[in-house]
Amino acid sequence: MGEKRSNHTVFNLNYHFVWCPKYRHAMLEPIEDSLEACFRAVCDEYEYDILSLHISPDHVHLFLSTHPKYAPSEIVRTVKSITARKMWEQHEPYLEEYLWGGGFWEQSYYIGTAGTVSSETIERYIERTEHV
């Protein structure tokens, strides 16, 4: 997790996402391996660097780093929609037991940000540079 560079940008953006399958069913364990492979493929394709991924039976934690050109809402929409479609393609008979009417993920999600410095450190830095 450190600073990354592109042509005109130096950045360190890390997002922690958490979301659940529809109805918060504890159904992810039997499909965990294919779901993890799908997360990794999507993140590779869209240039999201996975820092940590944990799949629990009833929710997912995805901690990633990416370029600032990607909005967090775009990231979560992309990852959730592609993984949902792929899981239905690969596991339809299994998913039909839990997810009547289609869908895969709940619409809601949690997002938090993380960096290498605290907000207090940033505030002190801004205050110091303001008085120069």
**Would residue 109 show up in a list of annotated catalytic residues for this protein?**
no
Q: Is 61 left (phi over 0), alpha (psi -120 to 50) or beta?
A: beta
Parallel/antiparallel/unpaired status of strands 60-65 and 110-114: unpaired
- Tens digit of each residue's pLDDT (9 = 90 or more) over 14-44: 999 999 999 999 999 999 999 999 999 999 9
Residue 95 phi/psi, 5° resolution?
A: -65, -30
Distance CA 94, CA 87 (A): 10
Contact 6, 12 (CB under 8 A): no
What is the crossing angle of helices 32-45 and 72-96, to 10°? 150
What pTM was estimated for this model as a whole? 0.86
Looking at the chain, the whole-number percentage of residues with pLDDT higher than 70 is 96
In order, the DSSP letters of 71-84 are -HHHHHHHHHHHHH
- At the fourth CATH level, the homologous superfamily of domain 11-130 is Transposase IS200-like (3.30.70.1290)
Of residues 120 and 112, more confidence is placed in: 112
* HSE value, Cβ hemisphere, 13 Å, CA-based, for 124: 5
Does the pLDDT of residue 7 top 90, yes or no?
Answer: no
Residues 6+ apart with CB under 8 A from 82: 38, 42
Instruction: Please state the domain extents for the chain.
Output: 11-130
Residue 132 has pLDDT above 70, yes or no: no
Amino acid in position 45: E
pLDDT digits (tens, 9 = 90+) for 39-78: 999 999 999 999 999 999 999 999 999 999 999 999 999 9
Among the options 23, 94, 110, 125, which is catalytic? 125
